[in-house]
């Protein structure tokens, strides 16, 4: 972040917060800039996928299960550079479809496909507008790991998931826990409360966490604003129920899914939920 946090982090104005599409357009530009970091991870991703490996956490593999013979098509929403998408292929999906709105991310995904020969299709789209030709075709819709925070209309997101699922399809979400935004480590590695307002709605920011994207070749002040929010657990579950998904399992996990809390003492980890998962199906 810059020297003056107010210049790089602020609440969205009421006008901004009222315009979902404009917030998504800004976030899309910011993610296209951030794809630069994923370019550096491409060689490792090629090696991982070629070796038959998976980038998914053990808990995700457990929730998704063995896809061999059970999954003609898996659709990964907010697929970024495709590493997690092709992990689903290595888990046994016959075909994978990755959806993301960043052209630069999907260029990387296409390079990953070319290098691995994976049966993958990349769809450039906002997840709120996935093409109707995909409707009813997903035996698995998978998403998460830093996805929901960028979305500004969860009801439309959930309706899109219900639309993509085949009649027997499953939905698996593994995502950062919203409560994660309320906790940080002090200099001794103990948990302390942040100033984040759990119920505040979208905030606009420039710059990226050093543990994740870090500095880009574009100076922070010149980067696009991006809009993010911690959707509460209640908002996520209510949106999925509103789309008539039948939820089978909602679980909270202490897993630090992006390494953002690695400066917390080991003995203090494990008592704060840092991620959660949801498994659901289409309601017939």
Helix (H, G, I), strand (E, B) or coil at 139: strand
Look-up of token digits 């490996």: 53
Determine the Cα angle at 91 with ends 28 and 101, to 5°.
10
Closer residue to ligand SAM, CB minimum distance, 210 or 270: 210
Dist CA 121 CA 115 (whole Å): 14
Identified binder of ligand SAM from the candidate list 113, 147, 223, 275, rule CB under 6 A = 147
To the nearest whole angstrom, how small is the minimum distance from the Cβ of residue 145 to ligand SAM?
4
**Cβ-based neighbours of 61, under 8 Å, separated by 6 or more:** 54, 91
Closer residue to ligand SAM, CB minimum distance, 37 or 268: 37
Closer residue to ligand SAM, CB minimum distance, 7 or 36: 36
Per-residue three-class SS string for 191-228: EEECCCCCCCCCEEECCCCCCCCCCCCCCHHHCCCEEE
Identified binder of ligand SAM from the candidate list 74, 80, 141, 264, rule CB under 6 A = 80
Residues 249-268 that bind ligand SAM (CB under 6 A): none
User: What sign does the CA torsion over 74, 80, 84, 89 have?
Assistant: positive
CA-CA distances (angstroms) from residue 212 to 20, 38, 63, 207, 209?
A: 25, 10, 25, 11, 5
Span interacting with ligand SAM, options 80-88, 174-182, 214-222, 274-282, rule CB under 6 A:
80-88
Q: Kindly state the helix (H) or strand (E) to which residue 75 belongs, with its residue range.
A: strand 73-77
* CA atoms within 13 Å, Cβ hemisphere of 181: 21
Span interacting with ligand SAM, options 145-153, 192-200, 237-245, 270-278, rule CB under 6 A:
145-153
To the nearest whole angstrom, how small is the minimum distance from the Cβ of residue 109 to ligand SAM?
9
Q: Give the residue at shortest CB distance from ligand SAM.
A: 146
Closer residue to ligand SAM, CB minimum distance, 126 or 203: 126
Identify the DSSP state of 146. S
Stretch 87-116: interaction string toward ligand SAM, x if CB under 6 A: -------------xxx--x-----------
Dist CA 156 CA 180 (whole Å): 24
Q: Kindly state the helix (H) or strand (E) to which residue 9 belongs, with its residue range.
A: strand 9-11
54 binds ligand SAM (CB under 6 A): no
Dist CA 257 CA 248 (whole Å): 22
Residues 202-241 that bind ligand SAM (CB under 6 A): none
* Count of residues that bind ligand SAM according to CB under 6 A: 18
Identified binder of ligand SAM from the candidate list 12, 112, 127, 173, rule CB under 6 A = 127
Closer residue to ligand SAM, CB minimum distance, 187 or 212: 212
Closer residue to ligand SAM, CB minimum distance, 128 or 279: 128
Q: Which residues bind ligand SAM (CB under 6 A)?
A: 24, 27, 31, 78, 80, 83-84, 100-102, 105, 126-127, 145-147, 150-151
């Amino acid at each position: 972040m810059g020297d003056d946090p107010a210049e790089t982090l602020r609440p969205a104005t009421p006008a901004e917060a009222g315009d979902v599409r404009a917030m998504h357009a800004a976030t899309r530009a910011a993610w296209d800039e951030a794809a630069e970091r994923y370019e550096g991870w491409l060689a490792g991703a090629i090696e991982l996928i070629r070796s038959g490996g998976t980038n998914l956490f053990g808990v995700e593999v457990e929730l998704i299960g063995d896809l061999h013979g059970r999954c003609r098509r898996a659709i990964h929403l907010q697929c970024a550079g495709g590493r997690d998408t092709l992990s689903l292929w290595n888990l046994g999906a016959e075909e994978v479809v990755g959806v993301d709105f960043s052209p630069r991310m999907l260029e990387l995904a296409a390079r990953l496909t070319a290098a691995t020969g994976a049966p993958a299709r990349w769809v450039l789209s906002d997840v709120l507008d996935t093409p109707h030709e995909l409707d009813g075709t997903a035996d698995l819709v998978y998403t998460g790991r830093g996805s929901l925070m960028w979305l500004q209309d969860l009801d439309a997101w959930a309706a899109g998931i219900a639309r993509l699922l085949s009649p027997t399809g499953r939905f698996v979400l593994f995502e950062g826990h919203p409560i994660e935004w309320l906790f940080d480590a002090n200099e001794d590695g103990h948990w302390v409360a942040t100033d984040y307002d759990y119920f505040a709605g979208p905030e606009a920011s420039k710059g990226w966490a050093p543990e994740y994207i870090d500095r880009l070749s574009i100076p922070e002040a010149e980067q696009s604003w991006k809009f993010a929010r911690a959707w509460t657990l209640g908002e996520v579950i209510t949106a999925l129920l509103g789309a008539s998904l039948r939820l089978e399992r909602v679980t909270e996990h202490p897993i630090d899914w992006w390494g953002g809390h690695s400066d917390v003492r080991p003995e203090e980890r494990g008592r704060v939920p840092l991620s959660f998962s949801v498994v659901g199906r289409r309601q017939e």
